[in-house]
């Protein structure tokens, strides 16, 4: 069988998928680029060509910079916390103890639940009138009165970050746990005989095996966190006073709430570009770390 035929066959097999992808991703993307140079509304007129106006307006608007800061804060803090908690959980679950299998299965639950369910759950926990968090804190005498955790600008973003961590740390833990099981028993034993304490053992023996897989987790989570939408939309809709408004929420508001399709399209493309840059930088980092423990 000739290699030409193999190649042709490969293309033929991929063709149906390619057609679908062009239809649902390629065309909308091209259309969005076109839209972003117009002042089109969501419904009605096709809009007029306005050049780069949408982009310059958006990039110079205080809304955009404020939202970018909020998004970055959300992404950096929740991902950092997820990485630390995930690795600690993995180290714990890698120990030999009774009930380990049950605990491992339970740990995956938050991640296995749909985001909307998770978000609804946390909205109940944070509820200002009958929420579990208020009840617990009051009974522990840590707060005097019930507070609206999601309703106050000072606490809403933090409350969202906690909910996002809860949902996503299991993914990091799962990846780390798999990596931990790849650490050869002999190397751990050698480090014991060599006199490495828990910290040095983690640094010199375990971390080299964790670095590659953790880098993958970091990339996945950062990109997801940067374009976060659903958990925030369900819990706060970007409020209060826009303190939890992230870039994706801003795109939604611009395009659908304010019906400014052209301007929304330009913003969507800016976000896409930012995420792409992140992805490229990270991909390079992953390639660099991947070989570290080989």
Binding site for another protein (CB under 8 A): 184, 186-187, 189-197, 200, 204-205, 208-209, 292-294
Nearer to another protein, 205 or 268 (CB): 205
Q: Tell me whether residue 56 or residue 188 sits nearer to another protein (CB atom).
A: 188
What is the b/e burial string over 260-281, where b = at least 16 CB atoms within 10 angstroms of the residue's CB? bbbbbbbbbbbbeebbeebeee
Rounded to an integer, what distance in angstroms lies between the CA atom of residue 293 and that of residue 283? 18
* Cβ at position 207, least distance to another protein in Å: 8
**For another protein, which is the closer residue by CB, 109 or 190?**
190
| Cβ proximity to another protein, 129 vs 186, nearer residue | 186
Where would I find the beta strands (DSSP E) of 240-284?
none
Could you give the CA distance from residue 151 to residue 242 in angstroms, rounded to a whole number? 11
In the complex, what is the shortest distance from the CB of residue 209 to another protein, in angstroms, rounded to a whole number? 8
Extract the tokens encoding 59.
């990039």
Nearest distance, CB of residue 285 and another protein, angstroms: 16
Q: What is the token pair recorded at 197? A: 């304490």
Nearest to another protein of 157, 205 (CB atom): 205
Q: Read out DSSP for 181-237? A: TTS-HHHHHHHHHHT--HHHIIIIIIHHHHHHHHHHHHHHHHHHHHT--HHHHHHTT
What is the nearest approach in angstroms of another protein to the Cβ of residue 216?
18
- Residue 141 CB, shortest distance to another protein, in Å, is 44
Residue among 9 and 288 whose Cβ is closer to another protein: 288
The closest of 80, 83, 77, 219 to 160, measured between CA atoms, is: 77
CB of 191 to another protein, least distance (A): 8
């Amino acid at each position: 069988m000739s290699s030409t035929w193999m190649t042709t066959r490969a293309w033929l097999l991929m063709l149906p998928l390619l057609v679908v992808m062009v239809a649902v991703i390629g065309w909308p993307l091209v259309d969005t680029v076109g839209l972003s140079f117009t002042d089109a509304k969501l419904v009605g007129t096709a809009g007029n060509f306005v050049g780069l106006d949408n982009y310059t307006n958006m990039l110079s608007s205080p809304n955009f910079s404020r939202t970018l800061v909020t998004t970055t804060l959300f992404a950096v803090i929740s991902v950092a916390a997820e990485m630390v908690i995930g690795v600690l959980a993995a180290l714990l679950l890698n120990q030999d103890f009774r009930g380990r299998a049950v605990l491992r299965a339970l740990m995956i639950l938050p991640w296995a639940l749909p985001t909307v369910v998770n978000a609804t759950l946390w909205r109940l926990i944070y509820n200002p009138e009958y929420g579990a968090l208020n009840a617990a804190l009051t009974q522990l005498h840590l707060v005097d009165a019930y507070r609206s955790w999601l309703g106050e600008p000072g606490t809403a973003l933090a409350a969202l970050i906690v909910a996002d961590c809860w949902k996503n740390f299991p993914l990091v833990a799962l990846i780390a746990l798999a990596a931990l099981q790849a650490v050869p028993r002999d190397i751990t034993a050698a480090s014991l005989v060599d006199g490495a304490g828990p910290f040095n053992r983690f640094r010199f023996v375990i971390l080299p095996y964790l670095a590659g897989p953790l880098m993958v987790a970091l990339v996945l989570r950062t990109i997801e966190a940067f374009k976060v939408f659903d958990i925030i939309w369900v819990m706060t809709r970007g409020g209060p006073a826009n303190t939890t408004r992230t870039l994706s929420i801003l795109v939604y508001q611009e395009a659908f709430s304010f019906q400014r399709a052209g301007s929304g399209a330009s913003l969507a493309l800016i976000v896409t570009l930012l995420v792409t840059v992140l992805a490229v930088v990270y991909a390079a980092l992953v390639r660099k770390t991947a070989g570290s423990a080989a």
